[in-house]
Chain A
Amino acid sequence: MNWRRVKNWLGIGVIVTLSLFAVAPVLSVVVSIYAAGAAAIASLGGLATFLTAEPPDPFATSGGVGPLLAGTLYMTALGAAAGILVGFPIGIYIGEFKRDKLSHVARGAVNMLVEFPTIAMGLFVYGMFSMVRGDVNSVLAPLSRDLSSVLGGWVTWFVGPLDFYNAYIGAAALAIVMIPYVALFTASAYASIDQPLREAAYSLSGREYKAVFTVLRKVVWRAVLASFLLGTAKIAGETAPLFFTALGNHYYAPFTGPTGAVTLWIYEAAQSSYKVQVDSAYGAAAVLLTVVLALFILAKLLGRGR
């Protein structure tokens, strides 16, 4: 009996078994969420209602995640934009500039940022914000007046003096949570580039920044895009950073005040004793997963076109 062949089949068997163990639980959770969520949405008035209505109180017979979905989409989009804007260059620095001592320190710093309890990010943003709130509002108040006289009253829902709790600091907390993930993924991607390829990029491009941001980026764009998507998915599902920044809201309200999020509602409703609220939590989770899945599919389609 060829020992190498035995090892081969054993090894592959172990890998396959372990990977099933890895994938099965998470997939089963996803499946059960969809199953429970679909049933819940049906019982709460159908998908259209669910996507626009307010969350149900214990006596309600229908409800939805309307304001919560709006809050999540808004804060996730802003947070992802900021997270990518800051995390991508940091990742490049960590991955590309291996010879700098600072790059190793920065990598350590980013590794440590991943470890922080996400509730701490929210508290940090809240602390920083309470220092700047007065001054920020002194700029935003006239700005919002000027803009709304030009564009109309709806502007005050987005731009205006900020309350103690608002969607923007929620987005900031989410951005800080996302930065280390984007940075680490980007760093891995850039670090993996073959040396010959790298030398070619540097020699062909005029400026150094062109080499790094344009040419090399195209080599690893798939991995980088994956990191953006994963990071966005992650902050779409985050709860703790929003506790002390966005606070939460059960109603449609301006983004300059307390804002709701799907995850905050799930946190509240999943611990409720009332079936209608627990159901809506599962429905909300199903909606959240679907939105993220749509994002993934969209990115894939865009990628195909390239």
Chain B
Amino acid sequence: MIVRISTEGQYELQGSDEEKLRELDDKAVVACEVEHEQQFHEAFARLLDFVRTSGRRVPDDALASSDVILPPPDTSLEEAKAEFSGEGLIPG
């Protein structure tokens, strides 16, 4: 499974990492919903850290598309909220 951290790059993760990734992502979403700034930053940082440490960097000359794309590391709570506005939380 290929995960991209926007503005940073792509990482290849094991398929079995998906569950953990989803779990961490959910935590960030919850913090975002309750608009808890610090909680959001912590949860989001943990999510990114997980991708960076359990994933292997995809080489620059690869032209693979990602299965999952995460927002940029410096995403603010406001920006994360904006991501969700409009069509609701879960697309499709």
Q: Is chain B a partner of chain A in the same complex? A: no
Binding site for A on B (CB under 8 A): none
